[in-house]
Chain A
Amino acid sequence: MQSFPPSEHTKLMNLLVLLGQRNMYVTPVLLEQGYPLRELGLRIPIPAFDPDVVPLPAPTPDAGYSSSEKNAVLFLEAKGGGSDDDQTEKFRFVQDHPKTLIATPNKLQINETNLIIDFGILCTNLQKIREDHARNPLPFPVLHYNETGRCLNPTNFTGAAFVNSDITTAFESPISVPRLPLSYIPFSSYDFPGNAAYFIQKMMIMVLSRSGKLEKYERLPPLDKIISQEYPLFEMLGKREFHELLVTMEKILTRLFPDDSENPSFNINKYREVKKGKIYLRRRSLKKFLEILHTASVDYQNHRGGTRQASMFEFDDKTRPAQPDIYAGIDKFFDPELFFS
């Protein structure tokens, strides 16, 4: 059975949810201190940070918790590794200029008077963070998720402390994580393109699901709309990053289920029928179709691993051998002959 291991970021995102929401797995220490989880990926535009830049600088910390009573906010960032000094600077700016945060739609339920903003980092690999931030040490407290030891620990890694003492209290002892479910956030943009096959299969389920909800003569909406509606998480977790994936999937669907309209498109319902309680797509049982799709998408993922975006070629060194277009394998791996003959 194929395995698509989730990224460290995906795991940490689930932990971030559990810290601020009632659940059976992890003590929701932030909720218990009066900081429920309010928002994931809150975009905070900060015009004053660099007024000449368009679009505006806007850090998006992974999880935002707030206490209306205490008028306090905590943002936690999930870091599986990777440096982003620029983002750190922006976080710092927001922390020093609470007015910036008030300008965002007030889902945090806070006001400007005496607002205190905390930032913190959740990571899985302290060494990696140390290397990434060797030149500009992080100015925020770091919590370490030890997956093997199954706990979330406070650290003195940066020497920084939370401004709000109740948040320090929440994290002063190790928090046991006997089981970390991934149901809340099953994927993130960090899982792509490594797990391209996983996403192709997931999208296929969404498209099938949507096709089953259509009226008799209703047409399927464009793929990005289907995905956004069937799985709003997709949009939040990096619609821009997933753009290449959407184009890939659209090409696959158009190849397998072509529509007769002027603009090349796809149509599932046109090819779906039921015989003796079994569902068929182009006379191939749905179960068998999904099995073939699984194999094809894994093959494509392996092929895709060594390819690059065609549009980047002009910037490449001409002396290097040209790399194939990432979409080039679609016709081969998703050939209708393989699926339906």
Chain B
Amino acid sequence: MGYDALPKISNRREMYGELEKAICNISQQEEDAEDERFAEGNPSQKKYLKVLPIESNVPLEKILAERNIEFLPTSEKNLKILKLTRDKKSSYSYLDMLDKRFWILYSLDNSLDIKKDIKKLIQQNNSHLDYTWFSSSSLQKISSGYSKTRFSMKFFNMFRNESIPMKRLSIQLSAEDASDIVENLLKNQYIGKGACFSNIEVLLSSNHSTFVKTRLSMDGSINISRGNSINYVLEFQQQVIQGHYKPIVETIEQDYSTEYISHNDGLEIKGDILSIKLTSKLKNLEFFTNSLLKGTNPFRFLGFPNKIDEEHYLVDVLDLHNFGHFDLEVFPDELLINLPKGTCGNSVVRLFTLCQENIDPTAKLTGGAGNAIIPA
């Protein structure tokens, strides 16, 4: 029997049971058929269980959702059912808010549909919601130690970085274990310079009988294409969000934001600034700052640039995701970020991830004194 949609549930235990059923059902499909679809470039036809993290700075009650979105209660306060209505048909997904900052949405809906609805939710006026952002280096770090069964690389030389000899790079590859291929591509003189991972699929298994194939993407979404164990999914999701992403955002907010404590008799500076180090030089800083401040995807920043000299710009940035603001200082080989205390660290991770995707896949995010944060 098919398992096309997730049913209503009333608690977390039921949710896990339903998710495991969904994974097992997906696995029943023939691998050949899956490969065929992949080769045709139409992977959305295939059913995946999707795990979509959402970074939130507000409680659910304050979210202004579109009319087709409803949050239904369960017996647990921090578990909701997300009811989506499209073309008079409704579907259910599960929204787990056990972590108030990083919500997890589980869905069996069509990838394009659910992502479109989530995008609307995130990008509406002052939503205080954002995606989680996994840089190429983060994806590599998380996937190290696992068999890589599939990966995609995507690089768009948006700011005409001349030291990278390509305008665009797009590679999608699947194999029983693609780990060696990944290593070889990274070492390749030509491709290596633009080798920016946009997703990596790994096989999670400790024995032959239980396993899961999960694909982690740049926007934090995890697609489960095959398997039979919800425990692996939960462990992986925990490792990705709680073990990797959350500590990075918290470190940025706690240690690498600046606080100017004003007393009646003076001012104390606490914290530190952040640096995105580029291994190659940006040639046209004016073009870069103007592009950064367009207010459109993917950066979603607005602001004012101040040209100090040809190789030095100071920029006031307003993040349209949460209306936070920060100072950005742009040099040809470095971006400095002065993040005021209380401003969302997710903005920095987004900027860094997009710098890897659009300027330099080997860019590094470091703290003021040079100790690396990403990759750890």
Measuring CB to CB, which residues of chain A are less than 8 angstroms from any residue of chain B? 1-6, 17, 21-24, 37-44, 60, 64, 104-105, 107, 179, 181-184, 186, 198, 201-202, 205-206, 208-209, 211-213, 228, 230-233, 235-236, 272-274, 277-279, 285-287, 290, 294
B370 contacts partner chain A, Cβ-Cβ < 8 Å: yes
Report B-chain residues with C-beta under 8 Å of the C-beta of A22: 272, 368-369
26 contacts between A and B (CB under 8 A): A1-B290, A2-B307, A3-B307, A21-B269, A39-B267, A40-B268, A41-B267, A42-B265, A43-B264, A105-B263, A107-B266, A107-B268, A179-B331, A181-B273, A184-B269, A202-B304, A211-B323, A212-B322, A212-B323, A235-B267, A274-B125, A277-B124, A278-B295, A287-B294, A287-B302, A290-B303
Question: B128-157: which have CB < 8 Å to A?
Answer: none
Is B286 an interface position by the 8 A CB rule? yes
Whether A273 lies near B269 (C-beta < 8 A) is no
Our pick among B126, B338, B369 for the contact of A186 (Cβ within 8 Å) is: B338
Would you call A5 and B369 a contact (CB within 8 A)?
A: no
Residue of A nearest to B305 (CB): A1
Q: How far is the CB of A94 from chain B (nearest CB, A)?
A: 13
Complex interface: chain B residues within 8 A of A41 (CB): 266-267
B222 at the interface (CB under 8 A from A): no
B316 touches A201 (CB 8 A): yes
CB closest chain-B residue, reference A210: B323
Please report the C-alpha to C-alpha distance between residue A232 and residue B294 in the assembled complex, in whole angstroms: 28
**Contact between B303 and A181 (Cβ–Cβ < 8 Å)?**
no
Q: Which of B269-289 contact A (CB under 8 A)?
A: 269, 272-273, 275, 286, 289
- Given the complex of chains A and B, what is the CA–CA distance between A181 and B308 in angstroms? 11
| Shortest beta-carbon distance from A98 to chain B in Å | 17
CA distance A3 to B308 in the complex (A): 6
Q: Which of B125, B308, B369 contacts A23 (CB 8 A)?
A: B369
Interface size class of B (residues with CB under 8 A): 35 or more
Q: Judge whether A236 and B329 touch: CB under 8 Å.
A: no
Instruction: Choose among A4, A22, A60, A183 the residue with the greatest number of B CB atoms under 10 Å from its CB.
Output: A183
Residues of B within 8 A of A233 (CB): 260, 267
* A42 to B268 CA separation, bound complex (whole angstroms): 9
In the complex, which residues 94-108 of chain B have their Cβ closer than 8 Å to any Cβ of chain A? none
- Asked whether B261 lies within 8 Å of A232 as measured between CB atoms, the reply is yes
B20 near A: Cβ within 8 Å? no
Contacts of A17 in B (CB 8 A): 269
Number of residue pairs A-B, CB distance < 8 angstroms: 141
Which residues of A sit under 8 angstroms from B124, Cβ to Cβ? 274, 277
Which residue of B302, B303, B370 contacts A24 across the interface (Cβ within 8 Å)? B370
- Top-5 shortest CB links A-B: A212-B323, A274-B125, A236-B267, A42-B266, A22-B369
Q: Is the CB of B325 within 8 A of A209?
A: yes
**CB of B336 closer than 8 Å to a CB of A:** yes
Chain B residues with Cβ below 8 Å from A272 are: 125
B306 within 8 A of A: yes
Bitwise interface map of B from 296 to 315 toward A, beta carbon under 8 Å scored 1, else 0: 00000011111110000010
CA distance A287 to B273 in the complex (A): 27
Within 8 Å by CB of A198, from B126, B258, B306, lies: B306
| Residues of chain B with a CB closer than 8 A to A104's CB | 265
**Distance A274 CA – B127 CA, assembled complex (angstroms):** 11
